[in-house]
Amino acid sequence: MLSAKSLFQEILDHDESFRLFCSIAAGGEAQGGWENGRIAALVPPALRALAPKIARHGADEDKHGRIFMALLRRRGLTPVPVPPETDYTMLLERRGIGLAHDRLRRDEPLTERDIVVYLAHGRVTEQRAAEQMALLLKHFAGHPEIGRAVRMIAADEDNHLAYTHEELLRLAAAGHGPFIRYTLRACALAEIRVHRDVSLAVMARMGRVLGWPRTRRALLTAAVHAVYAYERLAGRRRMVTLGMPERLDALGGPTASAHEYA
């Protein structure tokens, strides 16, 4: 029977597919760490209180990248280059979502609207990340090889999502509400399209590595398109609504060290 658990188990059990999975994940986390670090350094004076939380977010992303690299090392594997068509972060940037890397490389303070764009982008992408980690947590929390990594990363993603909700609500109360709603909608529409494209690219790569028959590839392709259609019509609402999280100041403390995992 084809299920999310059996699919990931198959990827986990094969060295080359696991190598590709961890390489893609580590690359995305490393990019996120760099982006958050630059944003923390360029926060406008009026929002300087946010800088430590943004830096903490970046430190978490860097930690996740190290965890995926540690998973590879434990199996005696080395990372592979990330195929461009699977680079979620850069594909979002090409669609104008989030803050462009060339903007972040300049030593010019960001504006309050830039911070709204950053947080809205995070609200949408962290929703995706939290959901994906919740799925892995459901099936692999007790796995001897990846269980501890899954538990740690899932907890961090929940914190990141809570943080974006709280800070966007604070900025909405300060008068940015209409721009926040517009930006969230634009981010969500772009993200579900990029997620579809990346999912198809990853499944195609995994299919070649694992030798999936044509029928399985067709079934998975249809499933990806079905998810996209649902999200395009109604599912994106979960990405654009805001609510005060149960845990406030989720990024107010230090990040847990990757050494605690390794």
CA distance 137 to 154: 7
Residue 75, SS3?
Answer: coil
Query: How many residues are listed for the chain in this entry?
Result: 262
**CA torsion, points 94, 95, 97, 102, in degrees to nearest 10?**
30
123 C-beta neighbours (distance < 10 Å), count:
25
- 159, 166 contact by CB (below 8 A): no
Q: What is the DSSP letter of 260?
A: G
111 C-beta neighbours (distance < 10 Å), count:
13
Q: Which of the four CATH numbers 1.10.540.10, 1.10.730.10, 1.20.1260.10, 3.40.50.150 does domain 4-260 have? A: 1.20.1260.10
CA distance 43 to 81: 32
CA distance 148 to 128: 20
Residue 3: what pLDDT? 86
Q: How far is CA 230 from CA 73, 134, 151, in A?
A: 38, 20, 29
262's tokens: 């390794």
- 34, 90 contact by CB (below 8 A): no
Identify the sign of the CA torsion 147, 153, 156, 160: negative
245: left (phi over 0), alpha (psi -120 to 50) or beta: beta
Ranges of residues in the chain with a pLDDT under 50 are 262
Residue 252: what pLDDT? 87
| This model's pTM is above 0.85 | yes
Domain borders along the chain are 4-260
Residues 56-101 have pLDDT tens digits of: 999 999 999 999 999 999 999 999 999 999 999 999 999 989 999 9
